[in-house]
Structure 1
């Protein structure tokens, strides 16, 4: 039964993560931590192993989603590589921060972080992109309807933001898209579909860096990962297909509610544990 739960968890996390450009770790990590409190099968899960296992699984979610988005031609490769210049080192720093963190403190911090993410997802649709100042990289994207959208960013600002995103990825085991996608839309004017697709490529690259570090530290539960990976692979493809055909607002609303519930549950578990 536990194996079926892991397969379904990997599938659901990857579908939602791919639709929103989140990566899926923001669902896998708290789910593993909560399961560890209810069944002996997961009793060996610690914050470190939950994060390490999640990041390994996200390599497959990120690769699957990125390949699907590449076929849709919605990936900005140049932007993704610039963002990775910050998220890669940030991920390594996050792994270093994660190694000595206390379990109860981790649960409280992560619960608060998830609730903040839910608030970001709530307001992102209602805030117009900030105007860019000074020279920087300017790009354009032609939407399926024929509309040409211009967006751009300062590389130094983009790298600084992505460093923080990468740090959160290595620390909490999330892909970082929960922060990067809103930043790309609000700060740099990315079209939402392009932001999601580009975020998944950055998540794929960052997950490789941070998961290798966690593997070297022995923070990966390989049996759990093997059960999660098939669902993550196919979920990434399914999520990309759904993203292309529908507006993500309904999914955002459901995910927001889900994240608030999970966040409160983790904070409670951390305080009472």
Structure 2
């Protein structure tokens, strides 16, 4: 349930400023590298919640639900920009969306009942995978055409489940899937941005419902979506995403991706240290 009580004694405005600062970083990185911010939002939110004694034992669920809710807002501008360029494969979005929605809802429902340690371990393993993928700049060679409706829906289900457990819009999985099936890179990225919205919508809804009756959540929680963190991150990211996009045109991409990979490695090791 929503409890809009004051945020004190757990940091008040200073904690909201931390969420805004996280949003500034996430927006800049998203604009710079074209990646979603979930891989940064989730571990940092878990650390902030743990440090301030909030949602004890449920920090991963609250961080994941909040991360997916931010994508609801941040994906819209990205999709609009790609759509204007005619780069989104909308027929593919329609084919994969049912599996995406069902998989994300199922994954969120399961995550709401999982022990926090299991979710943390899964997230850490995925962080290492994403860091290695980013460091190597992995792009699978095209092998075949896209599968039929059933195969595409099944792939969407897997992408949805994993995305709901790591709090991302699915691009780390959906882009390689499309590249492997002969979708050109720029169209794969654009289509992945469009796929991110149903993932975020279904994931956020699943975490809201999954945490609706949970007790001991911090004030301002809507189920497993923490509204103060959501507001701070969205506000911060809106400010810096355009700056990141402009910077991307002035700097080489490969070294930037390796810097981001090192950041992901660091966050993963930090989470392992706190187990």
TM-score, structure 1 as length reference = 0.80
1:65–1:237: 8 Å Cα contact kept in structure 2? no
The residue matched to 2:195 in structure 1 has which SS? helix
Q: How does 1:167-246 map to 2 (within 5 A)?
A: 167-185=161-179, 187-216=180-209, 217=211, 218-235=223-240
1:69–1:240: 8 Å Cα contact kept in structure 2? no
Cα–Cα, structure 1 residues 241 and 6, in superposed 2: closer, same or farther, change >3 Å? same
Cα–Cα, structure 1 residues 82 and 251, in superposed 2: closer, same or farther, change >3 Å? farther
How big is the shift at 1:242? 5.9
* Match in the other structure for 1:251: 256
The residue matched to 1:154 in structure 2 has which SS? coil
How big is the shift at 1:33? 0.8
Matches of 1:239 and 1:74 in 2, distance apart? Answer: 21
Q: Which deviates more, 61-70 or 87-96?
A: 61-70
Q: Which deviates more, 118-127 or 212-221?
A: 118-127
* Match in the other structure for 1:154: 147
* Match in the other structure for 2:267: 262
1:55–1:174: 8 Å Cα contact kept in structure 2? yes
How big is the shift at 1:19? 5.2
2:109–2:207: 8 Å Cα contact kept in structure 1? no
1:60–1:232: 8 Å Cα contact kept in structure 2? no
Matches of 1:73 and 1:168 in 2, distance apart? Answer: 28
* Match in the other structure for 1:102: 115
Cα–Cα, structure 1 residues 30 and 61, in superposed 2: closer, same or farther, change >3 Å? same
Aligned Cα RMSD in Å?
2.6
How big is the shift at 1:70? 2.2
- TM-superposition CA deviations, 1:200-253 (whole Å, max 9, x none): 110012211121222223111112111112233445555566667876433322
- 1:75 equivalenced with 2:88 (yes/no): yes
- Structure 2 unmatched ranges of 5 or more: 1-13, 212-222
1:119–1:256: 8 Å Cα contact kept in structure 2? yes
2:28–2:244: 8 Å Cα contact kept in structure 1? yes
* Match in the other structure for 2:70: 57
Matches of 1:73 and 1:237 in 2, distance apart? Answer: 21
TM-score, structure 2 as length reference = 0.79
* Match in the other structure for 2:105: 92
2:124–2:271: 8 Å Cα contact kept in structure 1? yes
1:81–1:202: 8 Å Cα contact kept in structure 2? no
- Structure 1 unmatched ranges of 5 or more: 133-151
Q: Which deviates more, 236-245 or 224-233?
A: 236-245
1:92–1:210: 8 Å Cα contact kept in structure 2? yes
* Equivalent residue pairs, number: 248
2:137–2:254: 8 Å Cα contact kept in structure 1? no
Q: Which deviates more, 70-79 or 167-176?
A: 70-79
The residue matched to 2:51 in structure 1 has which SS? coil
1:114–1:263: 8 Å Cα contact kept in structure 2? yes
- TM-superposition CA deviations, 1:84-111 (whole Å, max 9, x none): 2221111011112101222223222211
